[in-house]
Chains A and B, each alone.
Chain A
């Protein structure tokens, strides 16, 4: 079984400040991990994914995340926040290997960017 915990349902940062959104996972098998972004009244857009290649993963819009097995974490970062980053962010996990398919999501973190 898999689960995801996102610490902080709401995070506020100033424009130009570091963005750090936390994600911890639980998985009985090696996981694949994902970050999605959701803008109001839209579907989810994939930001980046970890599928057992490099542990530091770079995604779109300047975001990156690092897979840390020892900490069971996959935190999302961006060096400098833009107003356009204001959205809700979801971390998701799926088991690696053949037959894996459904995503298990965290409850989401709403990011606000203060001008």
Chain B
């Protein structure tokens, strides 16, 4: 079966632009996570969904970050008015039991 997929794989945005990052989880996985991985660092939690419900968004760094999963499958992470500090790899993971399965990530570069 297919793993977690993310698109685009690479995104270059000019400062101030809005971006949308997509995650397709493994079919049937109800739990979905977003993480941010800065260069040379470990991933850091952003937000968590169970089906369509966003149960935790405590890791979102500012109100410019918004995530949704309207039908409980595909999720979109949106960043408004991008800033240089938003440059990072954004990882999506879906979970079965205690195991999280990660996608390849979207590398966002803000110039």
Contacts and interface: CB of A to CB of B under 8 A. Distances in A.
Interface of A: 4, 32, 36, 41-46, 49, 51, 90, 92, 94, 100-108
Contacts of A94: 98
A46 B99 contact: yes
A112 to B, nearest CB: 15
Contacts of B107: 41
Contacts of B18: none
Contacts of A90: 42-43
Interface range on chain B (Cβ under 8 Å from partner): 20 to 34
B104 A105 contact: no
Given A43-B4, A94-B98, A101 B31 contact: yes
B98 A32 contact: yes
Given A43-B105, A90-B42, A107-B41, 20 more contacts: A41-B107, A43-B102, A43-B104, A44-B43, A44-B91, A44-B93, A44-B102, A46-B100, A46-B101, A100-B98, A101-B33, A101-B56, A101-B95, A102-B45, A102-B59, A103-B100, A105-B42, A107-B40, A108-B40, A108-B42
